[in-house]
Amino acid sequence: MNQSVVVITGASSGIGQSLAFAFGRTGAAIVFCGRKADTLTSTADALTAAGITNLPVVADVSVEADMKRLMDETVARFGRIDILINNAGISMRSMFVDADPEVIRKVMDINFMGTVYATRYALPHIMKTKGSVVGISSIAGYKGLPVRSGYSASKFAMNGFLEAIRIELRYSGVHVLTACPGFTASNIRFSALDSQGNSTGDTMREEGSMMSSDECAEHILKAVQQRKRELILTGQGKLTVFLNKLLPGLVDKLTYNTLAKEKDSPLKRA
């Protein structure tokens, strides 16, 4: 039997890197991309040292040609694609009234269009293997989060896209998973964009109190193995999604109050 092949976007750090190791430990070959050659190389070296077959590719998910090349190089090297994990993402932190619309466009290009491009060029191969398409979304794709309007918009778009193709592929044998980690310790908040598109370089939350990226990756691995349609992680995340269906006004208030307590939040404290 041929070795299964997993393609992961944005896997040189954080959840993506943890996913590379989690799926790699199952015996899969890992193909992963990122924009920085140095961090890709260091991750590749660590995977190789762990005995995991891997192929690093310098690529930008927001560039359609890069995603086509990523899939072409994967098939040229391994002959197949079994799983695509759309993990690459960026956040933003700004009141909408202050935000340059180009910041929201950039977030959409990476988080949403990156998923569209990668899935478009991987899907014909995944249909042959009856494999999986995975999107690493967020609770922000179920509940709009203040000060993160562009990020929430991109994740709502991702959720709708994945739901639509899941129904399209209903009789194809392809599995589609929407995975929502909740607040997870990763580097996404450190690289969040401000109102003018500059990286903040800081986090506004207590990273040490969150679910680790390794734990998150193990949950996602199991969800793929079990071919689940949806995975919502953390008690806070599950409660938010559940209550939002029943008491959306209350969840609006709770969401505002919670995010108003973040470091340097522009929201007024209630």
Q: Which of 117, 121, 151, 256 is catalytic?
A: 151
Closest by CA to 57, choosing from 81, 39, 82, is: 39
Radius of gyration of the chain (CA): 18
Cβ atoms within 10 Å, residue 212: 15
Contact in structure between 237 and 180 (CB atoms under 8 Å)? yes
169-to-31, 60, 130, 133, 173 alpha-carbon distances in Å: 24, 27, 10, 11, 7
Contact in structure between 94 and 194 (CB atoms under 8 Å)? yes
Residue partners of 45: CB distance under 8 A and separation at least 6: none
Alpha carbon dihedral 145, 198, 110, 224, in 10-degree steps, equals -60
Provide the pairing of β-strand 132-136 with 175-180: parallel
For this structure, is 171 an active site residue? no
Provide the pairing of β-strand 5-9 with 29-34: parallel
**Which residues have a catalytic role annotated?**
151
